[in-house]
Amino acid sequence: MKVSSLLQPYLNAPLPDGVEEKLAQYLELILKWNARTNLTAVRDAEGIVRRHFGESLFLGGLLPEFSTLLDFGSGAGFPGIPVQLIRPLSKVTLAESQGKKASFLREAVRSLAIPSDVWAARVETMPESKTFDVVAMRAVDGMAAAIAVAVSKVRPGGQLALMLGREKMDLPEDFNWADPVAVPGDGGLILLGSRN
């Protein structure tokens, strides 16, 4: 399986040197952990590359420059880890409240040697003053309530990036929302809002 050709529809620029190798290593780690824990419902390698890596990298290609990004409810690292791989000078915080998934994220950060932090608890328990340039959220249960928490973690002038299905959602006020962007394949929509 050639990772880069599966990713082609999702990329707006070639992958930086070394990233394809890191993605292959990340894939191996997911497959290994998924065999014994329920890390992600997408279990086949090609599906993981397209749906998880591809959609996360597509988001990464849309984001403006940022120093800090919070991946709210990261699960097995999406979209945070692929975004970190193509933005190595930025810092991604992977927030995940389920212990096993957070352990996986720690292992992935260590073995991929990326500068990400893992917040192994609910986002609500972060210090109130801690905010980020970008807060990204994909497939978090109870999205409407989670969005309300996510808003509080976006610094003034920062961005909220929502990866949604086709469902209608009330969007937070206080943000300027760009037109939704369709993710290739059946990946739903990305909504990017800038905080006033």
Ligand X SMILES: C[S@@+](CC[C@H](N)C(=O)[O-])C[C@H]1O[C@@H](n2cnc3c(N)ncnc32)[C@H](O)[C@@H]1O
Annotated binding site for S-adenosyl-L-methionine: which residue ranges? 73, 78, 123-124, 138
Element (H, E) at 176: strand 175-177
Strands 132-138 and 154-164: parallel
Position 118 contacts ligand X (CB under 6 A): no
Q: Which is nearer to ligand X, 14 or 47 (CB)?
A: 47
Q: Which is nearer to ligand X, 51 or 87 (CB)?
A: 51
Least distance CB 124 / ligand X (angstroms): 6
**Tokens read off for 172:** 């937070």
Q: How many CB atoms lie within 10 A of CB 145?
A: 10
Q: Which is nearer to ligand X, 96 or 133 (CB)?
A: 96
> Count residues contacting ligand X (CB under 6 A)?
17
Position 97 contacts ligand X (CB under 6 A): yes
Q: Which is nearer to ligand X, 150 or 157 (CB)?
A: 150
Position 139 contacts ligand X (CB under 6 A): yes
Position 154 contacts ligand X (CB under 6 A): no
Position 95 contacts ligand X (CB under 6 A): yes
Query: Closest Cα partner for 179 from 8, 62, 10?
Result: 62
1 touches 31 (CB < 8 A): no
- Among the residue ranges 6-14, 29-37, 70-78, 127-135, the one whose residues contact ligand X (CB under 6 A): 70-78
Three-state SS at 92 = strand
Q: Which is nearer to ligand X, 97 or 103 (CB)?
A: 97
d(CA 145, CA 7): 32
| Residues ≥6 apart with Cβ < 8 Å to 36 | none
For residue 160, which phi and psi values (nearest 5 degrees)? -110, 125
Annotation: binding site: 73, 78, 123-124, 138
- Among the residue ranges 6-14, 18-26, 81-89, 139-147, the one whose residues contact ligand X (CB under 6 A): 139-147
DSSP 162: E
Binding residues for ligand X, rule: CB under 6 A, are: 73-75, 78, 95-98, 101, 122-124, 138-141, 146
